[in-house]
C-alpha cells in the first residue's frame, strides 16, 4: 500500500491554490516535499522560476503575491530565477485574451523591463524590497531573448512537434476564440511553447504562476521531459481581487494598488476594500496569522492595511500613514504632515476643476474627471465641489491646499 504524500512546509503552503503533480514520498519528480528533502540533503538550492511579461511597467499588489512567494523561497535558501520575457512579449501572452495582442517593439519591452527590476528592488536594501538582489546566490535574472533568438528553424519545428493542435485548442482561451470564430494567429500557439522552453533553458525545479497559467507551466514540464531534464513542479497562487470587490486586480480595470504608491494612498485604499476581501488580503499579502487577529471586521481591516503598507515602507511610515488617514477623514488636514505633494507647475490657469484633475494625473481623461466631480468625489480642503466647470484663477488659490478624490486619494498642492 502506497504512503500518503508528505506535507510541504507551512510557509510554502500558505496561500497556495494548486500544486502539480502531487505524488508519493520518495519520488522527487512527483513529490515536492521529496525534492525539497533532496535539495537539503545534497546542499543544492532549488531553482524557482518566475516569468515576467514586460508588456506593462507597473507592479501592483496582485502581482506582488507571486514575488512574495518567490522571496519566501529566497529566504529559505533557494535561488529565484527571474525571466524577463522580452522575446515572448513580442508575441504577447494570449492567456485571458479574446483577441490577438498587439506586438510591442524591443525598445518598449526593454524600457518596461528596467522599470520592473527597479520596482522589485534592484539596487536597494532587501529589507523593504520584494526580492533580495543582494545576497549572493539568491537571484538570477535573464531575458529570454538570450536563448530564444538563437533557436533555428529545426529547433522550432522540434518544439512544435511536442504538442498537438488538439492540445492547444484545449486551452480555454483558444477554445473560446475558435468556437466563436475569432481569429487565432499561428504565432500565438508558439507562446506557451517558448515560455515552456524557458524552463528548459534555466533547468527550473519549480515554476510559480497565477491560476490562469497552469496550461503554460504544464507545457514547460512536458518540454523538460522531452529534453531529458527532471521536470518542474507547477506552483499556482490565486488571482487577487481588486478594489471593486468583484474583478481581478488589473490596471485596465482601474482597481489596483500599485506598489510604488505613496504610503498614505496605499493605506487609505487598503482600509476601504470590501470586508469579504480582508482575509484573502491578509493571507496573500502578509505573514500574519489570520486566526490570531480580532474578529471585528474594521480592526482586521486596519491591521491588514497597516501590515501591507509596512511591508513596502516600514512600520514607522505605515503608522504615520494610518494616523494621517484618520486625520484627513476627520478634517484635520493641518495636522496631516505626510500627505504627498503634487506639482501644479504644468497647469494652465485659469483652470476649470475637471481640467485640473486631469492635468495633474489623478484622472485618466477629462470626461472621467467630470463624472467624478459630479458624483461628489472631489473635495478641496474638505469642501465638496460638484461643478466640473468651477474655475481656479491662479496657482496661489491652490498652493498648500489638500485635494481629495474619493475616499482613497489625497494630495497637497505644491509649486
Same domain, 43 and 163: yes
Going by C-alpha positions, the residue among 299, 306, 301 that lies closest to residue 279 is: 301
Same domain, 367 and 313: no
Q: Domain for residue 247, yes or no?
A: no
The mean pLDDT values, 10 residues at a time, for the chain of 415 residues are 64 94 85 94 97 87 96 97 91 60 76 92 89 96 96 94 91 88 88 95 97 93 96 96 91 86 90 92 95 93 95 92 81 59 85 88 84 84 81 83 78 81
Which of residues 282, 306, 335 is at a domain's end? Answer: 335
Same domain, 77 and 171: yes
Q: Domain for residue 245, yes or no?
A: no
Same domain, 65 and 172: yes
Which residues does 408 contact at the CB level (< 8 Å), separation at least 6? 243, 265, 268, 269, 272
Same domain, 180 and 98: yes
Helix (H), strand (E), coil (C) string for the chain: CCCCCCCCCHHHHCCCCEEECCCCCCCCCCCHHHHHHHHHHHCCCCEEEEEECCCCCCCEHHHHHHHHHHHHHHHCCCEEEEEECCCHHHCCCCCCCCCCCCCCCHHHHHHHHHHHHHHHCCCCCHHHCCCCCCCCCCEEEEECHHHHCCCCHHHHHHHHHCCCHHHHHHCHHHHHHHHHCCCCCHHHHHHHHHHHHHHHHHCCCEEEEEHHHHHHHHHHHHHHHHCCCCCCEEEEECCCECCCCCCECCHHHCCCCECCCCHHHHHHHHCCCCHHHHHHHHHHHCCCCHHHCCCCHHHHHHHHHHHHHHHHHCHHHHHHHHHHHHHHHCCCHHHCCCCCEEECCCCCCCEEHHHHHHHCCCCCCHHHHHHHHHCCCEEECCEECCCCCCEECCHHHCCCCEEEECCCEEEEEEC
Q: Domain for residue 1, yes or no?
A: no
Which pTM does this prediction carry?
A: 0.79
Q: Domain for residue 291, yes or no?
A: yes
CATH assignment of the domain containing 379: 3.10.290.10
> Which position has the grid cell 470564430?
181
Same domain, 20 and 84: yes
**pLDDT given at position 331:** 59
Which residues does residue 412 pair with via DSSP β-bridges, in sequence order? Answer: 341, 402
Same domain, 87 and 56: yes
Grid cell at residue 346: 504644468
395 touches 415 (CB < 8 A): yes
The phi, psi pair for 108, rounded to 5°, reads -60, -45
Q: Domain for residue 166, yes or no?
A: yes
Same domain, 349 and 275: no
CATH assignment of the domain containing 320: 1.10.240
Report the distance separating Cα 40 and Cα 268, nearest Å.
43
Report the distance separating Cα 414 and Cα 121, nearest Å.
29
Report the distance separating Cα 87 and Cα 215, nearest Å.
20
Same domain, 103 and 195: yes
Could you tell me the residue range of the domain that residue 145 belongs to? 10-237
Q: Count of domains in the chain?
A: 3
Q: Domain for residue 246, yes or no?
A: no
* Rg of the chain, C-alpha, whole Å: 24
The count of other CB atoms within 10 Å of the CB of residue 71 is: 21
> Which position has the grid cell 522550432?
156
Same domain, 272 and 401: no
Same domain, 320 and 222: no
Q: Domain for residue 253, yes or no?
A: no
Grid cell at residue 408: 482613497
Q: Domain for residue 281, yes or no?
A: yes
407 touches 268 (CB < 8 A): yes
205 touches 46 (CB < 8 A): yes
Same domain, 88 and 148: yes
Amino acid at each position: 500500500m502506497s504512503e500518503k504524500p508528505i506535507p510541504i512546509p507551512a510557509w510554502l503552503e500558505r496561500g497556495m491554490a494548486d500544486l502539480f503533480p502531487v505524488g508519493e514520498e520518495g519520488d522527487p519528480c512527483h513529490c515536492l516535499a521529496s525534492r525539497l528533502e533532496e535539495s537539503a540533503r545534497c546542499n543544492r538550492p532549488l531553482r524557482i522560476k518566475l516569468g515576467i511579461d514586460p508588456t506593462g511597467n507597473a507592479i501592483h499588489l496582485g502581482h506582488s503575491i507571486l514575488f512574495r512567494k518567490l522571496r519566501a523561497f529566497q529566504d529559505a535558501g533557494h535561488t529565484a530565477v527571474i525571466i524577463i520575457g522580452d522575446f515572448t512579449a513580442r508575441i504577447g501572452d494570449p492567456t485571458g485574451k479574446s483577441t490577438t495582442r498587439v506586438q510591442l517593439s524591443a525598445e518598449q519591452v526593454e524600457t518596461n523591463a528596467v522599470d520592473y527590476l527597479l520596482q522589485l528592488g534592484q539596487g536597494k536594501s532587501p529589507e523593504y524590497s520584494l526580492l533580495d538582489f543582494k545576497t549572493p546566490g539568491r537571484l538570477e535574472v535573464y531575458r529570454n531573448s538570450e536563448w530564444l533568438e538563437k533557436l533555428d528553424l529545426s529547433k522550432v519545428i522540434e518544439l512544435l512537434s511536442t504538442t498537438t493542435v488538439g492540445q492547444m485548442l484545449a486551452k480555454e482561451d483558444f477554445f473560446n476564440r475558435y468556437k466563436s470564430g475569432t481569429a487565432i494567429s499561428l504565432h500565438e500557439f508558439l507562446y506557451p511553447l517558448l515560455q515552456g522552453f524557458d524552463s528548459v533553458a534555466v533547468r527550473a525545479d519549480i515554476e510559480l504562476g497565477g491560476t490562469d497559467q497552469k496550461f503554460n507551466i504544464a507545457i514547460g514540464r512536458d518540454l523538460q521531459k522531452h529534453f531529458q531534464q527532471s521536470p518542474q513542479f507547477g506552483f499556482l497562487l490565486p488571482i487577487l481581487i481588486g478594489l471593486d470587490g468583484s474583478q481581478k486586480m488589473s490596471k485596465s480595470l482601474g482597481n489596483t494598488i500599485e506598489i510604488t504608491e505613496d504610503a498614505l494612498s496605499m493605506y487609505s485604499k487598503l482600509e476601504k476594500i470590501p470586508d469579504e476581501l480582508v482575509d484573502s488580503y491578509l493571507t496573500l499579502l502578509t505573514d500574519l496569522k489570520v486566526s490570531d487577529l480580532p474578529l471585528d471586521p474594521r480592526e482586521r481591516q486596519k491591521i491588514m492595511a497597516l501590515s501591507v503598507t509596512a511591508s513596502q515602507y516600514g512600520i514607522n511610515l505605515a503608522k504615520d500613514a494610518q494616523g494621517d488617514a484618520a486625520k484627513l477623514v476627520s478634517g484635520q488636514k493641518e495636522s496631516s504632515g505626510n500627505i504627498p505633494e503634487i506639482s501644479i507647475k504644468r497647469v494652465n490657469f485659469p483652470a476649470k476643476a475637471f481640467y485640473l484633475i486631469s492635468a495633474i494625473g489623478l484622472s485618466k481623461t477629462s470626461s472621467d474627471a467630470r463624472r467624478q466631480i459630479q458624483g461628489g468625489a472631489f473635495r478641496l480642503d474638505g469642501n465638496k465641489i460638484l461643478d466640473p466647470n468651477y474655475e481656479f484663477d491662479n496657482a496661489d488659490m491652490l498652493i498648500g491646499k489638500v485635494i481629495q478624490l474619493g475616499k482613497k486619494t489625497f494630495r497637497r498642492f505644491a509649486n
